[in-house]
Structure 1
Amino acid sequence: MKIAVIPARGGSKRIPGKNIKPFCGKPLIAYSIEVARQTGLFDRVLVSTDSEAVAEIARQYGAEVPFVRPTELADDHTGTSPVVRHAIRYCQEQGQAIELTCCLYATAPLLQPFSLLEGLQKLEQYPDKAFAFSVSSFAFPIQRALREIPRGGVEPIYPEHIGKRSQDLEEAYHDAGQFYWGRTEAWLSAKPMFAEHSMPVVLPRYLVQDIDTPEDWQRAELLYKAFIKEKNL
């Protein structure tokens, strides 16, 4: 059995009501729910929330909200993995055998079905791997990063690389913050995500935007509108 778990707390300080705030005409969480259902990969699509407002909208878009997330898993400091473990154990207590779980973030309107499928295929192809998750490349070589210094001005973080050509530096990737496929035993044993037992699913930068600030939100809407326009040409 394969399940999707979408963590979606009710609180958000920088963007109030972020998970259900209208994004290009629909609540933000609706995009993740719809993509999960569209793929046909999941036996259940669950939303884990502490908010009845989130739960109501999640159900409207076809997700299950079979439990209220416990208070101890609904504060600002709770990570994603404990929330996913709670959902897996809930299903197991119902007598369901969970083989694979995919955590989808509620803040991923640019998520595409083919990316989820690629993640699943990687785990099926490499049975020794525990996770497969979305990454994207940095737009600029991180080895040539700068930082401000207290007395004013800037300095290179890696002085040994600052004069090198971009093509001579190793490409670097970051967590794209969209989805995390994992085997049940890996989730329940709290294996680290960013390790050699995880497979990257590389996404193009135009399909990746973290949404933590109003500026992030505006950029994500612009990317979404541009991508949808391109698809419909």
Structure 2
Amino acid sequence: MRILYIIPARAGSKGLPGKNTKILGDKPLISHTIEFVLKNIKENDELCISTDDDIIFSIAKDLGVEIPFKRPAELATDTATTYDVIIHALKFYEERGQFFDCVMLLQVTSPLRAKTDLDNVILSYDNDTDMVVTVKESKENPYFTLFEEDKNGLLVKSKISNFQRRQDCPNVFAFNGSMYLMNVLSLKKGSMNEFKRIKKVIMPNERSVDVDTMADWILLEYYFSNFNTN
């Protein structure tokens, strides 16, 4: 199985400006994900950093990674989708005669991943799977604590149920943003939102921080200071 590892990292960010290059520990945030891939990538695999940020080009170069292209401006806007970024990268390599079985998407903003998490994702994959994704168990539950607003402006449960205790509700899971291993053939048929055959790998909450706000960053720093990848 040949994997294209993609790290998407555009320059703009409204929630926490400059978060991809913000210093975590003693290095830029993106360096943690790049180094994770470099430690675990197989000889036949490929690492692709998709970015329009000159600072990230410099960071990658210092780590010995050559970024093969600069992300086009139309794929670096607030409206551009991750799916578009993935397809652009696949086409770039295929036009140069390089083909992959899977894409492994790693978000810069979810850096607290361990080798065991990666191993579990890869072991869970087979050719009949659209995607294996890392998740966390969700505290919020659509049967109990999640509500939607109806046409009258009143709150109704997202999933109608008669559960009296949250503990009795079915377990629900949330993507934690860490790793998405996707079948290339499935990607060419449609976006991740259309996938039907999805498997999960559960990661603990302390490795499931996805940074979008300063509050997320403070939590990330706390877990990072206590994080052990073994």
TM-score range, shorter chain: 0.7 to 0.9
1:44–1:64 contact (8 Å) kept in structure 2: no
1:144–1:157 contact (8 Å) kept in structure 2: yes
- What's the counterpart of residue 66 of structure 1? 68
> What are structure 1's unaligned runs of at least 5 residues?
none
Q: CA deviation at 1:198?
A: 1.5
Q: CA deviation at 1:78?
A: 0.9
Change over 3 Å in CA distance of 1:130–1:146 after alignment to 2: closer
- What's the counterpart of residue 56 of structure 2? 54
Q: Out of 98-107 and 214-223, give the one that drifted further.
A: 98-107
> What are structure 2's unaligned runs of at least 5 residues?
none
1:115 matched to 2:150? The reply is no
Q: CA deviation at 1:156?
A: 6.4
Percent identical residues? 29
SS at match of 1:76: coil
1:146–1:155 contact (8 Å) kept in structure 2: no
Change over 3 Å in CA distance of 1:156–1:220 after alignment to 2: farther
TM-score norm. by structure 2 comes to: 0.87
Q: CA deviation at 1:134?
A: 1.0
1:101–1:184 contact (8 Å) kept in structure 2: yes
Distance 1:25 1:226 in 2: 15
Q: RMSD of the alignment, in Å?
A: 2.4
Number of residue pairs the alignment of both structures matches = 224
Change over 3 Å in CA distance of 1:146–1:131 after alignment to 2: closer
Counterparts of 1:49-198 in structure 2, within 5 Å, are 49-123=51-125, 126-145=126-145, 157=157, 161=161, 164-193=164-193, 195-198=195-198
Counterpart residue type for residue 89 of structure 2: A
Distance 1:159 1:191 in 2: 25
2:110–2:176 contact (8 Å) kept in structure 1: no
Counterparts of 1:28-47 in structure 2, within 5 Å, are 28-41=29-42, 43-47=45-49
Distance 1:38 1:6 in 2: 15
Change over 3 Å in CA distance of 1:159–1:181 after alignment to 2: closer
- What's the counterpart of residue 207 of structure 1? 207
Q: Out of 138-147 and 170-179, give the one that drifted further.
A: 138-147
Change over 3 Å in CA distance of 1:132–1:158 after alignment to 2: closer
